[in-house]
Amino acid sequence: MKKIVTILGARPQFIKAATVSRQFQQLGIDERIVHTGQHFDQNMSEVFFEEMEIPHPAYQLNIHSLSHGAMTGRMLEAIEPILLTEKPDGVLVYGDTNSTLAGALAAAKLNIPVIHIEAGLRSFNNQMPEEINRILTDRLSQLLFCPTQTAVQNLQREGFEQFDVEIVKNGDVMQDAALFYAKKAAEKSTIIQRLGLKKFALATIHRQENTDSIDALTGIIEGLNAIHAQLPVLVPLHPRTRNIIAQHNMPVHFQTIEPVGYFDMIRLLQACEIVLTDSGGVQKEAFFFGKHCITLRQETEWIELVENGYNVLVGSNPEKMQHAFEQLLTKTSDFNINLYGNGHAAELAANSILAH
Ligand code: UDP
């Protein structure tokens, strides 16, 4: 494949795409990026294109702030004419957002091969919009790049070996990003000095199951407030979470800041003592930077982190959060094991795409 249209729209997709787009440029693959607009704030979108030198999108759809159905539907409608004009050899989608599903569906309906990076992940929780997006996107894809052996097994269990598709275990492109940008982050980011940080816990909260449930969000905030009494907690706060906390006047004792760019995020991950998060990407990044992680969810797609003792699942229960915090803060682990490839996931994927 020589010409690819990439559909993206949300923060984690910019980070994943940065690594693959660089490989495409090196291989001379003609890539046209479509930004759906799902994430649109400067600090949720533009900053990643600037810092990570992602090629400018050829198309900006500006579709956001809608219900899941409306957003996905409008994206589908807007992507179709672009694919008809561009006539790519393949359409590349990342992860599990509405942009992923809309891109895959638009391409599949036009009989354009779909390439899915981060295929095969499952939480087995169909209440998560991401789980629906993943299952359907995988089923529409011809070329499925899996970050882990667990992801490959999930596809096998769903019968994918009987379909006319190719499954490639290429590793995790987010690890490529973490390795590639760590040095630049150390040179460019001043966040530790700016905020005068010493020892601290880093937390992020944005998953719908936590933000849409007042009980869950209240539990998480109570847990973070209690942990903050022992170790300062810093939260770069997702705009959705910030709005809900403000609407309900929830008592926040820890420090919150606006979402940060990737370089600042890497510095925070490197410098913190421990991570608390409901993010998929941040769970792995904690591991990449040698930090234990408390995951504010009931289940995770990154099960190997839990199995190897790097990650503990606590849901939104404040007592469980504190218990895990006390256990993990003093724990020492060897993070030097290869769970996600060796930093060549994007290269493997790009070479494989070119060969098709
Ligand atoms: N991230 C960031 N700034 C922030 C919070 C997160 O750059 O303030 C990065 C984080 O390092 C990771 C990605 O955003 O690479 C994860 O995105 P998010 O948590 O929104 O999505 P998920 O991984 O849960 O799909």
Residue 23 forms part of a structural domain = yes
Q: What is the mean pLDDT of residues 296-322?
A: 98
pLDDT digits (tens, 9 = 90+) for 137-168: 999 999 999 999 999 999 999 999 999 999 99
* pLDDT value at 242 more than 90: yes
Residue 217 forms part of a structural domain = yes
Q: What is the mean pLDDT of residues 212-218?
A: 96
DSSP state of 57: P
Mean pLDDT in the chain?
97
Q: Could you tell me if 19 and 142 lie in one domain?
A: yes
* pLDDT value at 262 more than 90: yes
Instruction: Output the CA torsion sign for 97, 16, 155, 106.
Output: positive
Question: Atom 10, ligand 1: which residue's CA is nearest?
Answer: 282
Q: Could you tell me if 117 and 255 lie in one domain?
A: no
Q: Directed axis angle between helix 173-188 and helix 280-288, to 10°?
A: 70
For residue 174, give the ligand 1 atom closest to its CA: 15
Q: Could you tell me if 261 and 186 lie in one domain?
A: yes
Q: Which of 35, 39, 116, 206 is catalytic?
A: 206
Q: Could you tell me if 76 and 25 lie in one domain?
A: yes
Cα 203 from Cα 188, distance rounded (Å): 22
Question: Which distant-in-sequence residues (6+ apart) come within 8 Å of 119 by Cβ?
Answer: 134, 137, 138, 141, 144, 145, 146, 151, 155, 167
Beta strands in 214-298 (DSSP E): 233-236, 255-257, 274-277, 293-295
Q: Directed axis angle between helix 318-329 and helix 214-228, to 10°?
A: 40
Compute the half-sphere exposure of residue 313: CA atoms within 13 Å on the CB side of its CA.
14
Residue 144 forms part of a structural domain = yes
In this structure, the number of other CB atoms found within 10 A of the CB of residue 329 comes to: 15
Confidence bin at 342 (pLDDT 50/70/90)? confident
Tell the residue number behind the tokens 């494989």, with chain if given: 352
| Percent composition of the chain: helix, strand, coil (DSSP 3-state, to 5) | 50, 15, 35
* pLDDT value at 282 more than 90: yes
Residue 336 forms part of a structural domain = no
Q: Could you tell me if 159 and 244 lie in one domain?
A: no
Q: Could you tell me if 151 and 222 lie in one domain?
A: no
In this structure, the number of other CB atoms found within 10 A of the CB of residue 111 comes to: 6
- Among 282, 288, 289, say which to mutate for ligand 1: greatest number of ligand atoms within 8 Å of CB: 282
Cα 217 from Cα 220, distance rounded (Å): 5
CA distances from residue 305 to 209, 314, 326 in whole angstroms, order as listed: 21, 14, 18
Does 12 sit in the ligand 1 pocket, CB within 6 Å? Answer: yes
For residue 204, give the ligand 1 atom closest to its CA: 5
Does 242 sit in the ligand 1 pocket, CB within 6 Å? Answer: no
Does 284 sit in the ligand 1 pocket, CB within 6 Å? Answer: no
Q: Could you tell me if 7 and 152 lie in one domain?
A: yes
Residue 146 forms part of a structural domain = yes
Of all helices (H) and strands (E), which one includes residue 24? helix 11-27
Q: What is the mean pLDDT of residues 234-241?
A: 96
Q: What is the mean pLDDT of residues 324-338?
A: 97
DSSP 128-141: SHHHHHHHHHHHH-
User: What's the CA-to-centroid distance between 110 and ligand 1, angstroms?
Assistant: 32
Question: Residue 162 has what pLDDT?
Answer: 97
Start-to-end C-alpha separation, the chain:
5
Structure tokens at 22: 């660089």
β partners of residue 60: 35
Q: Could you tell me if 346 and 270 lie in one domain?
A: no
* Active site (annotated) includes residue 39: no
Q: Could you tell me if 217 and 163 lie in one domain?
A: no
Q: Is the pTM of this model over 0.85?
A: yes
| 168-187 b/e (C-beta count within 10 Å ≥ 16 → b) | bbbbbbbbbbbebbbeebee
Residue span of the structural domain in which 11 resides: 3-172+341-355
Q: Could you tell me if 112 and 193 lie in one domain?
A: no
User: Length of the chain, please?
Assistant: 356
Q: What is the mean pLDDT of residues 309-336?
A: 98
Question: Atom 19, ligand 1: which residue's CA is nearest?
Answer: 279
For residue 96, give the ligand 1 atom closest to its CA: 25
Q: Directed axis angle between helix 11-27 and helix 280-288, to 10°?
A: 60
Q: What is the mean pLDDT of residues 44-71?
A: 96
Instruction: Output the CA torsion sign for 250, 252, 257, 263.
Output: negative
Q: Could you tell me if 185 and 168 lie in one domain?
A: no
For residue 261, give the ligand 1 atom closest to its CA: 7
Does 120 sit in the ligand 1 pocket, CB within 6 Å? Answer: no
Residue 293 forms part of a structural domain = yes
Question: Residue 141 has what pLDDT?
Answer: 98
Residue 335 forms part of a structural domain = no
Q: Could you tell me if 168 and 234 lie in one domain?
A: no
Q: How many structural domains is the chain composed of?
A: 2
Residue 334 forms part of a structural domain = no
Question: Residue 257 has what pLDDT?
Answer: 98
Q: What is the mean pLDDT of residues 283-311?
A: 98
Does 281 sit in the ligand 1 pocket, CB within 6 Å? Answer: yes
Cα 325 from Cα 41, distance rounded (Å): 32
The CATH number for 67's domain is: 3.40.50.2000
